[in-house]
Amino acid sequence: MINSIIDYSARNRFTVFLFVAAAVFAGLWSMQNLPLDAIPDLSDTQVIVYSRWDRSPDIIEDQVTYPIVTALLGAPKVQAVRGFSDFGYSYVYIIFQEGTDVYWARSRTLEYLSKILPRLPEGVQTELGPDATGVGWVFQYVLVDPTGAHDLAQLRSFQDWYLRYYLQSIPGVAEVAPIGGFVRQYQVNVDPNALLAYKLPMERVVDAIRQGNNDVGGRLVELNGREYMVRGRGYARSLDDLQQIVVGTDERSGTPVLVKDIGRVELGPDIRRGVADLDGTGDAVGGIVIMRYGENALRVIEHVKEKLKEIEPGLPPGVQVVTTYDRSELINRAIDTLKRTLTEELIIVSLVILIFLWHIPSAIIPIFTIPVTVIIAFVPMYAMGITANIMSLGGIAVAVGAMVDAAIVVVEQTHKKLEQWQARGRPGDYRDVIINAVKEVGGASFFSLLVIAVSFMPVFALEAQEGRLFKPLAFTKNFSMIIAAVLAITLDPAMRLLFTHMRDFSFRPRWLARVANAVLVGKIHSEETHPISRPLMRLYQPVVELALRYRWVVIVAGGLVIALTFPAYQRLGSEFMPPLNEGALLYMPTTLPGISVSEAGRMLQVQDRVLKTFPEVERVFGKIGRAETSTDPAPFSMVETTVLLKPEDEWRETPRWYSSWAPEWAKRILRHLWRDRITWEELVYGPNGINQAMQFPGWSNAWTMPIKNRIDMLSTGVRTPVGIKILGADLKTIQQLGEQIEHVVKTVPGTTSVFAERTAGGYFLDFELRRPELARYGLSVANVEDAIVSAVGGENVTTTIEGRERYAVNVRYQRGYRADIERLSRVLIGGMDGAQIPLAELADLRLAEGPGMIRNENGLLTGYVFVDMAGRDIGSYVADAKQAVRQEVKLPPGYSLVWSGQYEFMQRVKERLMLVVPITIFIIVLLLHLNTGSWVKTALILLALPFSAVGAVWLLYLLGYNLSIAVWVGLIALLGVDAETGVFMLLYLDLAYEDARANGRMRSWNDLREAIIQGAVKRLRPKVMTVATMVAALLPIMWSTGTGADVMKRIAAPMVGGILTSFVMELVIYPAFYAIWKWGWEVKPTLAVERV
Partner 1 sequence: MMRGRGQLATCQSSATKPELPSPPIPLPLATVLIAILLAASALAQHVHPPGAEQAIPAVTAHAAEHKILYWYDPMHPQYRSDKPGPSPDCGMEMVPMYADEAAAQQNLPAGAVQISPQKQQLTGIRTAAASRRALRKTIRTVGVVQPDETRVHKIHTKFPGWVDKLLVNSTGQQVRAGDPILAIYSPDLVSTQTEYLLARRGYEQLHHSSVADAADGSKTLLAAARRRLLLWDITPQQIRDLEETGKAQTSVTLHSPVSGYVTAKDVYQGVYVTPEMDLYTVTDLSHVWVILDVYEYEMSNVHVGTPVTLRLSYYPGVTLTGTITYVYPYLDGKTRTNKVRIELDNPGMRLKPDMYTNAEIEASLGDQLVVPEDAVLDSGTRQIVFVATGNGHFEPRAVQLGARGEGYVAVIDGVKDGEQVVIAANFMVDSESQLKAALRGMGEGKNSDQ
Q: How far apart are CA 819 and CA 952, in angstroms?
A: 67
7/463 with CB nearer partner 1: 463
Q: How many Cβ atoms sit within 10 Å of the Cβ of residue 359?
A: 21
197/936 with CB nearer partner 1: 197
The nearest distance, CB 540 to partner 1, in angstroms, is 17
Q: How far apart are CA 380 and CA 369, in angstroms?
A: 17
The closest alpha carbon to 453, from 87, 1010, 979, 984, belongs to: 979
Spatial contact of 989 and 1014, defined as CB atoms under 8 Å apart: no
Spatial contact of 768 and 843, defined as CB atoms under 8 Å apart: yes
The nearest distance, CB 193 to partner 1, in angstroms, is 5
Spatial contact of 409 and 1022, defined as CB atoms under 8 Å apart: yes
How many residues are present in the chain?
Answer: 1092
Q: At residue 215, what are phi and psi to the nearest 5 degrees?
A: -110, 140
- 225 pairs with which residues across the strands? none
87 vs 573, 628, 662, 897, 911, CA distance in Å?
A: 41, 14, 60, 27, 42
Q: How far apart are CA 400 and CA 318, in angstroms?
A: 53
Q: How far apart are CA 788 and CA 769, in angstroms?
A: 11
Instruction: Give me the helices (H) in 91-158, please.
Output: 102-114, 152-158
Q: How far apart are CA 766 and CA 784, in angstroms?
A: 13
Q: How far apart are CA 51 and CA 109, in angstroms?
A: 14
For the chain, give percent helix, strand, coil, nearest 5.
Answer: 55, 20, 25
Q: Burial level of 695, CB count in 10 A (0-12/13-18/19+)?
A: exposed
Spatial contact of 50 and 89, defined as CB atoms under 8 Å apart: yes
460/764 with CB nearer partner 1: 764
* Residues 432-464: b if buried by 16+ CB within 10 A, e if exposed: ebbbebbbbbbbbbbbbbbbbbbbbbbbbbbee
Spatial contact of 893 and 763, defined as CB atoms under 8 Å apart: no
The answer to whether the peptide bond before residue 380 is cis (omega within 30 degrees of 0) is no
4/596 with CB nearer partner 1: 596
831/1015 with CB nearer partner 1: 831
* Residues 924-940: b if buried by 16+ CB within 10 A, e if exposed: bbebbeebbeeeebbeb
Q: How far apart are CA 621 and CA 643, in angstroms?
A: 6
Q: How far apart are CA 143 and CA 686, in angstroms?
A: 34
17/685 with CB nearer partner 1: 685
Q: At residue 767, what are phi and psi to the nearest 5 degrees?
A: -100, 105
What is the enclosing helix (H) or strand (E) of 546?
helix 533-549
The nearest distance, CB 365 to partner 1, in angstroms, is 21
The nearest distance, CB 339 to partner 1, in angstroms, is 13
Instruction: Report the relative pairing of strands 703-704 and 584-587 from DSSP bridges.
Output: antiparallel
Spatial contact of 887 and 745, defined as CB atoms under 8 Å apart: no
DSSP state of 135: G
The nearest distance, CB 21 to partner 1, in angstroms, is 30
Q: At residue 768, what are phi and psi to the nearest 5 degrees?
A: -90, 110
Q: How many Cβ atoms sit within 10 Å of the Cβ of residue 218?
A: 10
The closest alpha carbon to 447, from 980, 847, 895, belongs to: 980
Task: State CA 351 to chain mean position distance.
Answer: 35
Q: At residue 642, what are phi and psi to the nearest 5 degrees?
A: -85, 120
Instruction: Report the relative pairing of strands 256-258 and 246-249 from DSSP bridges.
Output: antiparallel
928/977 with CB nearer partner 1: 977
Can you give the three-state secondary structure of 549-566, one letter per residue? Answer: HCHHHHHHHHHHHHHHHH
570 vs 574, 953, 959, CA distance in Å?
A: 10, 10, 15
840/1013 with CB nearer partner 1: 840
The nearest distance, CB 607 to partner 1, in angstroms, is 9
- 173 pairs with which residues across the strands? 291
